[in-house]
Amino acid sequence: MFNNGESRLLDFEKIFTQWSVKENDFEYPLLDEKEFKKVKLRNYTLSWANIKIKVKAKNGESLIMPYEIGADVLFELSEEIKEPSKYRYGKLIKSARLKAGLTQEQLAIKSGTTRFYISRIENDKT
């Protein structure tokens, strides 16, 4: 679910196939589910600290950064869910939140939204 309220499907297996990910590519370790699951949300961006990439700063200095995919790219890679009634995420999200011992407010802070919005999601209103 994106912050515009739209539920969209991200199929990383399909995405990595489309990208023709090979052994020497940054994304290659993410084909391993164990490595993929190390993802964290950082500033609305999926970030894998376990995957390091080298980038050049404006001043020409080389920096080592985590591999990241921003929300804009994720939105472009996602597919519209044609049958939203088949995708009821509210119960799944609530179950995962409770299992993690989080309140709606805590989840809202971690995900960059509001408790009200989390409540709407959990009740399949959004």
Counting every residue written for the chain, the total comes to 126
Domains of the chain and CATH, by start: 1-81 (no CATH), 88-126 (1.10.260.40)
pLDDT band at 90 (very low <50, low <70, confident <90, very high): confident
Give CA torsion, residues 98, 100, 104, 108, to 10 deg. -150
Q: Mean of the pLDDT values across residues 88-113? A: 91
Report long-range pairs for 62-67 (Cβ below 8 Å, ≥24 apart): 66/42, 67/26, 67/27, 67/30
* Range with the poorest average pLDDT among 59-73, 75-89, 101-115: 75-89
| Phi, psi of 24, deg, nearest 5 | -90, 5
Instruction: Give 10-33 pLDDT, tens digit per residue.
Output: 999 999 999 999 999 999 999 999
SS3 state of residue 122: helix
Q: Taking the complete model, does pTM exceed 0.85, yes or no?
A: no
